[in-house]
Structure 1
């Protein structure tokens, strides 16, 4: 049975210390598990956040109903999604996978990604994971910087990983 975050997860209680290169999350930012009723907003956020390699409506629907996936949303109020994260868990594996991290373009640099990363780490720990892995485009300097500031270390490279042929870095964070 999956373990979930208390709803809503109050990012203001986060454990990650503030630093000069990590802007604080908006005071009203909340991260919670997504519900089936959030499907339209998740798809709209996906369309605004990515120009390719997007999750489809059917994929989101499947992930929202899956015991092996967790979809998180960050919002300033219940109806304005600022970001989302999709995590995958495999049976008998101590490694969780952050499959997707999306942030509204106008909310980037405001702590939304940091809030989602922290909530993802909390959720993965509660599910018994000892590590969190992800892939990121080698040309996405902003995301790479975010992951590295939050303790992820580069562990590999995948050639031509994305649909447009771009390579991906593989990152991992040990969960304490």
Structure 2
């Protein structure tokens, strides 16, 4: 909960959703620790019968911004999706999240849709997808 509060001004995951993710067979929760301190996390959702996974959240502690941790978490999320036989990873990002957009586009994600009024504050989401391969 502390990482959610530090990383996101709005649209934070609720405690109930985090507990559900931890116990779910169709959700992977990846974490980055500095000693015993949680400094990053990524949540990957899968649906039975689908080869497409969704990166529903990636959070980096403000103290680790600009260190490459977001890229490490994104790479780990892609590897996790592949490990579950998914061949594509999708995500949504706020249109005003320049750092996130740069990360995803530099990592090979392509925008395929814009969703107005997606976030609780009315901000538009840009939807991205990347084909995944084992190479």
Q: Matched residues in 2 for 1:139 and 1:56: separation?
A: 23
Moved over 3 A (4+): none
Q: Give the structure 1 partner of residue 31 of structure 2.
A: 73
Q: Matched residues in 2 for 1:172 and 1:63: separation?
A: 22
Larger radius of gyration: 1
Q: Give the structure 1 partner of residue 11 of structure 2.
A: 53
Q: Give the structure 2 partner of residue 98 of structure 1.
A: 55
Q: Would you say how many aligned residue pairs link Structure 1 and Structure 2?
A: 133
Q: Matched residues in 2 for 1:62 and 1:76: separation?
A: 24
Q: Give the structure 2 partner of residue 118 of structure 1.
A: 75
| Structure 2: runs of 5 or more not aligned | none
TM-score with structure 1 length normalisation? 0.74
Give the number of the structure whose residues are more often strand, by fraction: 2
TM-score with structure 2 length normalisation? 0.96
State the shift of 1:134 in Å. 0.1
| Structure 1: runs of 5 or more not aligned | 1-42
State the shift of 1:76 in Å. 2.5
What secondary structure does 1:119 align onto?
helix
